[in-house]
Chains A and B, each alone.
Chain A
Amino acid sequence: MSGLRRRLRPLAIPILAVISAFIVGSLFLIFTDIPALQVLPTQPLDFLGTAVGNVIKAYAALLTGSLGDPTRFADAFRTPTPENWATAIRPISETLVAATPLIFTGLAIAVSFRSGVFNIGGDGQFVLGALGATATVLLLRDLPAPVTLVAGLLAGIVFGMAWGFIPGFLKARMGAHEVITTIMLNYVALQIVQLALRTPFMRPATGSEPISKVIDFVRVPALIPLPGLRLHWGFIVALIAAALVSYFLFRTTKGFELRAAGLNLTAARYAGMSAGGSIILAMVVSGALAGLGGAFQVLGTVTQMSNDVNSGYGWTAIALALLGGTRPGGVVAAAILFGALNNGGHEMQIETSIPLDLLVFIQALVIMFVAAPDLVRQIYRLRRRGPEGGAPVEEGAAA
């Protein structure tokens, strides 16, 4: 029993942080509920009933949207047609589809945090990865599909790597603060994408929207052979990537160097490690992961490059890295949770017309609560535990 409790203890803060974020989020839901607010001066109880009822409705829609509707599962069991099964499973499939880019970017940020680099450039690395993949696939469209696909994914990795290398190099060799450089490079990346989307090479024959030609002639194969399910092999690759990152960080000498640099740069140098090399390596790995995430997004999920291929993944990734304690397993769990939220959010938006952006706000709150464990402890009257409890990024990322 005590063993189990000890194992569960590190989860207390993240779980309470998520719960707290939702409670604060619901307050904002209540106080932006204009129809309900209009009855507040005359019938305060009615207001409370309606507003709280709406919150419950919204969160319930979030839940069914992310995990599925039990009645659909019942239908599927009664008449097990592929269509029925697809309908029942679709919410879960969509949750994992939404989680896939988050796993990649979350891992990317976790790796950089471990090395003491505060990579805020996940966005830029992700979109350039997506752009690289799109351009490569368009360029090689006449080759056999599998070759084109692999080339596209590799291009995503290379582009992301390059965009991660720049701030890594500038920090390691010139001492440039990575927070500033990565933020600026995010904007440059966005401009590059817009520029590229203006070229005839990328643009579809008609229309003036900043989107590329549809590239569905190569597509990452679907994972579940049921109609209309978008879950593709990118998810499995993401899980493999998490396992590889974990192996890299904790079982290899390069990973050891990287973590040492993150925890104490001087001591790493004294121990004969090339601290600058570790920083660059971390940023390159980080960029490669984010870039691959972008490649899978265009080649597996959306089949089209556009300005908004990235919906703040780089920022969400910071929440994921913190929530997962910069451990790959934790990041995967956090990414699936956030994937569920984002996906359920769509359902919520459709059913209750509450904007999806509420979840962006809630994610920001999650970062806040996870980063301030003492605040959470204070709210829930938890006792402080030994030094092992905190996320390692507390020391690492400050550098």
Chain B
Amino acid sequence: MRLELRDITKQFPGVLANDRISISADRGKVLGLLGENGAGKTTLMNILSGLYRPDSGEILIDGETQVFRDPAEAISAGIGMVHQHFMLVPVFDVVESVALGSEPVSGLAATFDRATARARVVELSNQYGLHVDPDSKIEDLPVGVRQRVEILKALYRRSDILVLDEPSAVLTPGETEELFGIIRGLAAGGTTVIFITHKLNEVLEVADTITVLRRGRVAGTVLPHETSREELANLMVGREVELTVTRGPANPGETVLELKDVFVRNDRDEMAVRGASLEVRAGEIVAVAGVQGNGQTELVEAITGLRHIDSGHIKVGDTLLDEAKPRKVADLGVAHIPEDRMRDGLIKGMTVAENYILDSYHREPYSSTGRFDRVAIAREAAKGVKEFDIRTPSIETTVGSLSGGNQQKVIVAREFSRPVKLVVASQPTRGLDVGSIEYIHRRIIEQRDAGAAILIVSTELDEVLALGDRVAVMFSGRIVGVLPSEQATKEAVGMLMGGVH
């Protein structure tokens, strides 16, 4: 079926998320929808799936205007959605997950007809080569298989239009290739596919047409064979992408952080880090690349004292970290920029000043013998706000009301307000605007030039390559390679990320 969106506009308080967006995709074709974080992709998708209603504009399927009041109507119109965060109930099995919402039933009590549903799941799984065991529990399945279950959900509902939201974010390159195969198969069978991503290579590889979104508007629609990475990148960010940050050569000194055969468990008690070894020296940036979920989160938490080390050792300077005590680690001069700003780094109900002192409140000059010195706190917080250019009405404003960039600056200001020997930054620029990204990168490089050792963990390859004096790659819980920046090409790092070495 042919899908067309005309002049879709959606306004949220303070944000024009979609501004007269028009896209179209023909039957059996793959439309790549490319855009940065915050370009309006997710809003557009939520409109298409019936979760939001547009302020104006219309949705047409095969030329007929559609109005979706809820997801059920979008589904019955033939739209199938594969969300970035899988919409699967962990304790259900595959059959239940796939059938949920369109269950075959029998009898007065509407008994769930599992046999019928199971037969159909098996049939579809075989037909499209998805290789899904219908009786496994979702929580026992690996990520790649869960995604195939999501695709099964759409097929089960006979969706003619399949929308995939950042489907490769959690996949290895191998799994991504497999996914592309499935997508091509579906398109060949007549399904219209909309593929939402921010990865240039992927749209070039799989899409028949590419529409680029920028700040809620369509920046351009191009054909893959008529365009180039540079042009797409240009359309996406609105100017030449600055892939390299201006930084001088590194001047490495003694080793500040040493990891040796480190094993760490995750929350589900599985071994997430399995024998990682790495060294970071003073005055250099080591950037760790890797697809999300390869143990980076657990490794960072082990280094910052948030997680127990199962075996192996971590040394900061001359000190061996033997127990999980975040404060002890911080006292060694470790600054930590955590992965999830709002969850881990800030308390949004507290003020800028309170967040500024969040991990050094117990120290002079903020407090002595357990009591706060409010004058000193106000003075220091005002200094931090000024120095790091945090745009806030006052230091008494709650952090939750600031923009993402300014929130991250509060964290950076706080962490760099202490004497720093080692910076551990996890996804330091995720979800930020270009200006804030540059600012934070500059600050990190300043720290390096001042002699700190820097460990950056990022799933954004561009960020890793731009910042790393050495690039380490993490795969399946181990550091599978460390490359000096001049050898760290996209291809070389990408191969390692996919476990090819």
Smallest distance from the beta carbon of A116 to chain B beta carbons, Å?
11
Q: In the bound complex, do residue B371 and residue A260 qualify as a contact, i.e. CB atoms below 8 Å apart?
A: no
Residues from chain A with Cβ under 8 Å of B401 in the complex: 387
Q: A264-B343, A395-B349 are in contact. Are A253 and B371 (CB under 8 A)?
A: yes
Is the Cβ of A388 less than 8 Å from the Cβ of B326?
no
User: A256's contact among B304, B343, B354, by CB below 8 Å, is which?
Assistant: B354
Distance A99 CA – B141 CA, assembled complex (angstroms): 58
Contact with B along A217-242 (1 / 0, CB 8 A): 00000000000000000000000000
Chain A residue with the shortest CB-CB distance to B329: A272
> What residue in chain A is nearest B359 (Cβ atoms)?
A271
* A270 interfacial by beta-carbon distance below 8 Å: yes
Q: A270-B336, A272-B326 are in contact. Are A260 and B359 (CB under 8 A)?
A: no
Are B371 and A268 in contact (CB-based, < 8 A)?
no
A281 to B471, CA, bound (A): 45
Contact B371 A252 (CB under 8 A): yes
Asked if A127 is an interface residue, CB under 8 A from chain B, the answer is: no
B347-364 at interface with A (beta carbon < 8 Å): 347-350, 354, 358-359, 361-362
In the assembly, what is the distance between CA of A254 and CA of B371, in Å? 9
Interface centre among B325, B347, B359, B401 (most CB of A within 10 A): B347
A331 within 8 A of B: no
Min CB distance B181 to A, Å, is 39
**B372 interface residue (CB < 8 Å to A):** yes
Measured between beta carbons, the chain A residues less than 8 angstroms from B370 are 252-254
CA distance A321 to B330 in the complex (A): 36
- Bound CA–CA A110/B327 (angstroms): 28
Per-residue 0/1 for A129-172: is the Cβ within 8 Å of any B Cβ (1 yes, 0 no)?
00000000000000000000000000000000000000000000
CB-CB nearest in chain B for A247 = B371
Contact (A252, B349) CB under 8 Å given A271-B326, A387-B400: no
**B interface size (C-beta, 8 A):** 30
Tell me if A260 and B372 are in contact (CB < 8 A): no
Q: Compute the total of residue contacts between A and B using a CB distance below 8 Å.
A: 66
B348 in contact with A264 (CB, 8 Å): yes
User: Which one of B325, B358, B398 contacts A387 once the chains associate, using CB atoms below 8 Å?
Assistant: B398
Whether, in the assembled complex, A392 has its beta carbon less than 8 Å from a beta carbon of chain B, the answer is yes
Give min CB distance, B424 to chain A, whole Å. 11
Q: Is B349 a contact of A263 with CB atoms below 8 Å?
A: yes
Residue of A nearest to B362 (CB): A253
Q: Is the CB of B367 within 8 A of A253?
A: yes
Question: Which of B306, B336, B347, B398 is the one whose CB lies under 8 Å from A264?
Answer: B347
Instruction: Enumerate chain B residues within 8 angstroms of A253, measured Cβ to Cβ.
Output: 361-362, 367, 370-372
Residues of B within 8 A of A260 (CB): 347, 350, 358
B61 to chain A, nearest CB (A): 38
Bound-state CA distance A314–B350 (Å) is 28
| Distance, CA A286 to CA B372, complexed state (A) | 22
With beta carbons under 8 angstroms apart, the residue of B338, B348, B371 that contacts A270 is: B338
In the complex the two chains form, is A272's CB within 8 Å of B347's CB?
no
**Do A272 and B327 form a contact, CB below 8 Å, given A253-B361, A266-B344, A387-B398?**
yes
Tell whether, in the assembled complex, residue A272 and residue B330 are in contact, meaning their CB atoms are under 8 Å apart. Answer: yes
**Could you tell me the distance between the alpha carbons of A263 and B343 in the complex, rounded to whole angstroms?**
11
Determine the distance from Cα of A253 to Cα of B368 in the docked complex, in whole angstroms: 9
Distance, CA A318 to CA B345, complexed state (A): 31
**Contact A259 B372, CB 8 Å, known A267-B344, A270-B326, A387-B398:** no
With A and B bound together, what is the CA distance between A259 and B350 in angstroms?
Answer: 9
CB-CB under 8 A from A272, the residues of chain B are 305, 325-327, 330, 359
- Bound CA–CA A267/B401 (angstroms): 17
Q: Output the least CB separation between A290 and chain B (Å).
A: 24
- Binary interface encoding of chain B residues 17-37 relative to chain A, with 1 for a CB under 8 A from any of its CBs, else 0: 000000000000000000000
With A252-B370, A260-B358: A270-B344 Cβ-Cβ less than 8 Å: yes
**0 or 1 for each of A367-395: is its CB under 8 Å from B? (1 = yes):** 00000000000000000000110001001
Q: Mark B296-322, 1 if CB is under 8 A from A, else 0.
A: 000000001110000000000000000
Which chain A residues lie closer than 8 Å to B371 at the CB level?
Answer: 251-253
With a cutoff of 8 Å between Cβ atoms, the chain B residues found around residue A254 in the complex are 370
* Chain A residue with the shortest CB-CB distance to B401: A387
Shortest Cβ distance from B393 into chain A, in angstroms?
A: 11
Are A267 and B345 CB-contacts (below 8 A) given A252-B370, A254-B370? yes
> Can you report 7 A-B residue pairs in the complex whose CB atoms are below 8 A from each other?
A252-B371, A263-B347, A264-B343, A264-B349, A266-B343, A266-B344, A271-B358
Having A264-B348, A272-B325, one finds 6 other A-B pairs with CB under 8 Å, namely A254-B370, A260-B350, A267-B345, A268-B347, A270-B304, A272-B330
